[in-house]
Structure formats: C-alpha cells, structure tokens
C-alpha cells in the first residue's frame, strides 16, 4: 500500500471491527437464532393444528 497513514487507519479499524466478534457476541447471536427458530416452529405447529381441526 502506497499510503502508510491509510494502512495504519485501516489496521486500527480492522482491529476494532474484529473486537466485535468475541465469545459473548457469538453466543448471544446463536441464542437469538435458536429463539427465532423455536418461535417460527411453534407458529407453524399451531397453524397446522388449527387446519387439522377445521378439516
């Protein structure tokens, strides 16, 4: 890279961005995905039950 200042700024920005990918963030994101999946599954199951009761 021709601009050492730009390279330094990009390196600092990359380090800050990488810091947002810790275990706490990953675990929280995973829990959110599982919660949403369970919610969607329950909605589909409830709809299926309603249809089966109405023929």
The mean pLDDT of 5-16, rounded to a whole number, is 95
CA dihedral sign of residues 43, 45, 35, 37: negative
As a whole-number percent, the residues of the chain with pLDDT over 90 amount to 62
* DSSP 8-state assignment for residue 53: H
Reported pTM: 0.52
In the chain, which residue ranges form alpha helices assigned H by DSSP?
A: 4-18, 23-53
Mean pLDDT of the residues in the chain: 89
């Amino acid at each position: 890279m021709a601009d050492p200042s730009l390279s330094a700024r990009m390196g600092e920005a990359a380090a800050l961005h990488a810091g947002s990918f810790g275990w706490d963030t990953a675990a929280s994101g995973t829990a959110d995905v599982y919660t949403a999946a369970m919610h969607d599954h329950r909605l589909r199951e409830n709809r299926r039950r309603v249809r089966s009761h109405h023929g």
